Structure 1
Amino acid sequence: MLGKTYDREVCSMARALEVVGERWSLLIVRDALFAGVTRFSDFQRGLGIAPNVLAARLDAFVTAGLMERRRYADQPEQFDYVLTPMGRDLSTSIVALTQWGDRWAGTGEPPILYTHAGCGGAVESRSVCTTCGTHDPDDVQARPGPGMPAGYVEARRRGRTA
């Protein structure tokens, strides 16, 4: 994990990055979500990730509530790592990042297509206005929400935290 490097930020995205912002994190979640991977050895083999790094990521996910450990063997003790509803909720973000990667970082046709298991239709992520539908990204504004500490925005404008 990156650690608590966003302490000055009052932003849910910064808090999310503290949980899933490390290089391997979303790839682990992707494989758990869309390839059904649950075993340490399968994550390691599929991703080519060092065992110590994988162990640290999985432990952090369990601590954060994204995954839970379920014992499947006693001798030796072995566990499945299963996504919780919190972890499964990352599917929209993973689809959105994949779409962005296909458009801006890809080298040709998309290597992965996300489809709806029920009908086979393409699954995509969109940002929409809840009042009038879709919008241009240039028309999105960020403004303080109900969770913003009093005085924080003004203090940031002056160059210090509240």
Structure 2
Amino acid sequence: MTTRAFDPGQCPVGRTLERVGDTWSLMILRDAQQGLTRFDAFEKSLGVAPNILAKRLAGLVQSGFLERRPYQDRPVRHEYVLTPQGRDFAPVLTALLAFGNRHFAHEGIAGQLVDRVTGQAAEPVVVDAVSGRPIDAERFTYAAGPAAGETVRQRVAEIEARRGRD
């Protein structure tokens, strides 16, 4: 049996998952969003083996989510700081948190976002920055962008054809 490597083509979801699509990378980004920067802090928080942590940190640096900076000279030690791209990933983690709380928190909410001033729990939603409307399937749909190749255009045509049959 042969294994075919995943090719995301022009799919933005596939391209993102290639870079952060494993549990450890997502959890490292969660911890980094919460202020962790040092190898030992990530290791303690996650309970991950050092070799796996080192590999995932290197991948997140290579993919542009984290920057590796020295914080000590003797011996040389590095910290991992979110880049602008890494900080831009925060809403994705927020969406995962909200989804997990809605669908998988069978014992109740263990972690949530709250308003710093009022302490009131937030109810995260994804909204269109132009109109301010919540993104939902009723109003919004996937469409080809200006740089779309034939595969993307075909996918959009198939989506439209399915919608026409419904």
Pick the TM interval, shorter chain. 0.7 to 0.9
Q: 1:55 to 1:90 in 2, by over 3 A?
A: same
Question: Structure 1 stretch 68-77 or stretch 48-57: which is displaced more?
Answer: 68-77
Contact 2:19 2:63 in 1 (8 A): yes
User: 1 or 2, which has the higher helix percentage?
Assistant: 2
The residue number in structure 2 matching 1:16 is 16
Q: How does 1:95-114 map to 2 (within 5 A)?
A: 95-114=94-113
Residue in 2 aligned with 1:87?
86
What is residue 6 of structure 1 aligned with on the other side? 6
Secondary structure at the residue paired with 1:71?
strand
Q: Determine the C-alpha separation between the residues in 2 that align with 1:67 and 1:28.
A: 10
| 1:84-107 deviation line (CA, Å, top 9, x unaligned) | 111011111111101100111112
Q: Is the 8 A contact 1:92 1:125 kept in 2?
A: no
Relative to the length of structure 1, the TM-score reads 0.81
CA contact (8 A) 1:96 1:124 kept: no
Q: What is the match of residue 161 of structure 2? A: none
Deviation at 1:145, TM superposition (A): 1.2
Name 2:164's counterpart in structure 1.
none
Greater shift, 127-136 or 97-106, is seen at: 127-136
Task: Specify the SS of the correspondent of 1:137.
Answer: coil
Using the TM superposition, name which of 9-18 and 136-145 deviates more.
136-145
Distance (whole Å) between structure 2 residues aligned to residue 106 and residue 87 of structure 1: 26
Aligned equivalents of 1:118 and 1:84: distance in 2?
27
1:12 aligned partner, one-letter code: P
Q: What is the distance in 1 between the residues matched to 2:44 and 2:91? A: 25
Residue identity opposite 1:104 in structure 2: H
Q: Which amino acid aligns with 2:72?
A: A
CA separation in 2, counterparts of 1:152 and 1:61? 28
* 1:147 is aligned to 2:109: no
Provide the identity percentage: 38
Alignment of structure 1 residues 126-145 onto 2, 5 Å: 126-129=125-128, 130-131=130-131, 133-134=133-134, 136-145=136-145
Unaligned 5+ runs, structure 1: 158-162
TM-score by length of 2: 0.79
Cα drift, residue 52 of structure 1 = 0.7
- CA distance in structure 1 between the aligned counterparts of 2:132 and 2:83, rounded to whole angstroms: 33
> Which stretch shifts more, 139-148 or 110-119?
110-119
Computed over aligned residues only, the root mean square deviation of the Cα atoms, in angstroms, reads 2.6
Superposition deviation, residue 69 in structure 1: 1.1
2:49 is matched with which residue? 50
Unaligned runs of 5+ in 2: 158-166
1:125 counterpart letter in structure 2? P
Count residues with an aligned counterpart. Answer: 153
Report SS of the residue matched to 1:24: helix
